[in-house]
Chains A and B, each alone.
Chain A
């Protein structure tokens, strides 16, 4: 067992490495976590993810921009790579797999990549189809991977209409799958009209939503743990 003090020190280092987009720092702290036998779940959620939440806040406040966000994500991934093999199977009650991509004819993928990163953080298995994805590919991939969630991104009004085709097709083939759409021209009205299950309004809100997902996952985990202890 490690002392509370040491645990706190490592959590702070993990958190700050993410905020200061310090990949090496994240690796070092993660390796120490493993060496000392500290709980990997604790390190991920209260260290790395907590740092990413702060990065989200800085992004919203326009202190951080997209490059900072991407670099913080790299630090987070560097830590995750080391810690993940040591995670005890989480019983979160969420299967958590998602197919994500930007629809055909659209190369705008900055936003999609940010959303994707948040799913990675939340522990989802992510099948990223990239950008300019032929519409059939989403359905194909969902069926192949049996994912819970399909996320569609479009940044142009002309390509956005492709989402409707994907939604209709998915619904016909697999009524249970959850569908979330986003991107600048999309609105909750459109999401409702086209029968999507979820929507995030803009850069900030998408991030918030994704972070909410992470937070609720954390909460579920805490509850699950409390139940175990209690």
Chain B
């Protein structure tokens, strides 16, 4: 059955962020969702998208146009801020396979080099202007129908892009003040970058702090060392914001809410029903597995997982990470259909009495 409601996907997302009532949870994402179907129709190579604003925007819009997925999101890689800070990146232009850009040359090589400063023309460097332009193009294309989103890295994840992650992890323990100073500088850079994206008209910005997952770092270090700088970032952004962390997040979910983000986003490793109890009414987005379910799963599997997300109480159906380009369009459609037709189970009388 097709969608029968009258709220546009954009209104729904904006109202949700504003804390107003919505007719149903939206189904969207704050992370990349390029599809090979979109790429094929447009005749673009994945490697070419990262340095061309129009191609970037076209592919982002194609996902909505092909499947009804309720957003447009640019960019697709995690190297934008690091590149503007002086790192060299690799987009694998020589390969036809879909490979995501990586950092080829870092700018901090040892502890002594951690006292970096933000280049004066930071927001005009690297691809920050290009992503800004892509946001504008995307707004012009589908911005009346759906919310347009973008993302920046969290300070710890960005630190891991510009210096050796092993060193960063060890120093978080041995010299937390030194790491704190770096995160403080990076928080400023992230705000500068996010401001540009706000100016371009982004309806919401996701801060991706996947490097600080409890798969890698203890909740204690997260709270003491990273949370303060996330707070610093969110307190300075004006648009709607989402804090995304993948992997194990059950123990840090309350801290994620404390960061001041408008909503938090978790992946399939989070027990959402449990988290809901801990964070009360805070907006919680999640938490289907974007690869094993949406790409590799059957339609029936997709439907079942999406129903479970909704039963568990997510405020928006949203993936655990970037959606993998090889995703079958049919699976996204099945997901949308499930969201359109979902009815929350009516609680039985005893539960109402409680």
Contact = CB atoms under 8 A, between A and B. Distances in A.
A71 B174 contact: yes
A93 B169 CA distance: 37
B92 A74 contact: no
A38 B326 CA distance: 59
Contacts of B20: none
A203 B173 contact: no
Interface residues of A, number: 22
Contacts of B295: 157
Contacts of B98: 158
B48 interface: no
Contacts, number: 54
Given A107-B102, A158-B97, A185-B291, A70 B217 contact: no
B160 to A, nearest CB: 10
Interface in A71-125: 71, 74, 104-105, 107, 109-110, 113
A158 B216 contact: no
A65 interface: yes
Contacts of B218: 65
Interface string B219-250: 00100000000000000000000000000000
A66 B102 contact: no
A104 B99 contact: yes
Interface string A17-60: 00000000000000000000000000000000000000000000
A65 B291 contact: no
B215 interface: yes
A188 interface: no
Given A65-B214, A157-B291, 11 more contacts: A65-B216, A67-B169, A67-B173, A68-B173, A105-B92, A107-B102, A110-B165, A110-B166, A110-B216, A113-B166, A156-B100
Nearest 5 Cβ contacts at the A-B interface: A105-B99, A67-B169, A65-B218, A66-B216, A107-B102
